[in-house]
A and B are shown apart, each in its own frame.
Chain A
Amino acid sequence: MDYLRAFLVGGIICVIAQILMDKTKLTPARILVLYVTVGAILGGIGIYKKIIDFGGAGATVPLLGFGNSLAQGAIKAVKKDGITGAFTGGLTATAGGIAAAIFFGYLFSIIFNPRTKK
C-alpha cells in the first residue's frame, strides 16, 4: 500500500514538472530550482508534511522534499537555538544528501567518461 501511495504522489509531482517543461519551455535546471524553492515554502507553511505523511518517499525523493527538509531544518533549529538556527538549520538537516552528492558526484566523474549520444 505504501508503495502505491509513493508511486502516485511521486508520479504526480513529476507530471506537474513535465507539463511545466512542455508548456513553458522551462529547462530542467530551472525546474529543479523552482521545485526546491517551492518545497521550502510549502515546508515552511507546514503543508508539505501532510503530503509526506500520505506519500512517504513519493514526497521526500523529489526535489520538493529536499526543499522541505531545508525549511523544516531551519524551523527546528530556530526552536532550539534561536535566530542563529535560521542559518544553521537548513544545511544541517540536508548535510547528508549534499555531502553525498559532492562525494559521489566527484568520484563517479573521475571514474567514468561521457559517451556521445546515439
Chain B
Amino acid sequence: MSENNPALEVRNLSIQFGGLKAVDDLSMTIEKGALYGLIGPNGAGKTTVFNMLTGVYKPTSGSVLLEGENITGRSPTEINKAGIARTFQNIRLFKAMSVLDNVKAGLHNETHYTAIEGALRLPRYFREEKRVTEKAKELLGVFGLEKELDTKAQNLPYGKQRKLEIARALATDPKVLLLDEPAAGMNPNETAELMDTIRFVREKFDVTVLLIEHDMRLVSGICERVTVLNFGQELAQGETSAVLNDPKVITAYLGE
C-alpha cells in the first residue's frame, strides 16, 4: 500500500438482480480527505452502491479498493474492520439501548477484553470500560449529545438520532465514512448545522466522506466532487458546480 493510493477506488462495479442491472459499470476515485457526493434521481441505485461498498450486497462484477486494498466480496463486519463505516437512509440505531451504549457498541472492536473477563469482572474489564466510556462521552460531546447519555436511542428527536448514527459510525474509527441521505427530513436550519458538522468531522477525525443526498444546497455547499447516477449508470462526474450545471443532469432531475 503506497501513501498515494486514493481513499476509495471503485472499478467497473456492477450488480444484477435477476434481469435488472441495478448498477452498471460504475467507476469513481475518491481522494483522501475528500468530500464526495453521490447523487441522482430516486431509484438510480445510489443506496445499492453503498450496500456494495459495505458488503451487504456482493457485486456481480467489478472491485472496490480501500487505500489500495481490494475489499470486494468481504462481509460487512470485515469491511467495517478494514475501515468503512456508514449511516443508513432509514435510521438504524440500537433503539432499546441508551445513547451511550450505542456509541460503546460502535467502539466494540476498540474495547479490549474477552467475554470471560467481562463476565467475571477481571481488572481489564474495569480499565477498558472506563477508557471506552470516556471516549464515547467525548465523541458524543462533539455532536452535542453529552446531556442525553442515558436516554434510550428511540426516544431521541429525529435530528439527534441522525447525529447519534454518525457518532456511532465514527466510533469504529473509519478511514471512509459513508452517509446515506444525512439531511433527509431536516429543515433548512438543521441542514445548515449538519453541513458544519460534516466539515468539522472531516477535519477532526481525518476521514474521507462519501455522501448520498437529495438536498442540492447541501451537495453544492460542501461536496467538492460528485458523481451522478441515473438508472444505475454514471451520467456525469466531476467538480460539483460544473456537474450541477450540466444540461444532461438537469434533464435527468427535472425531465425534458
* Chains A and B form a bound pair: no
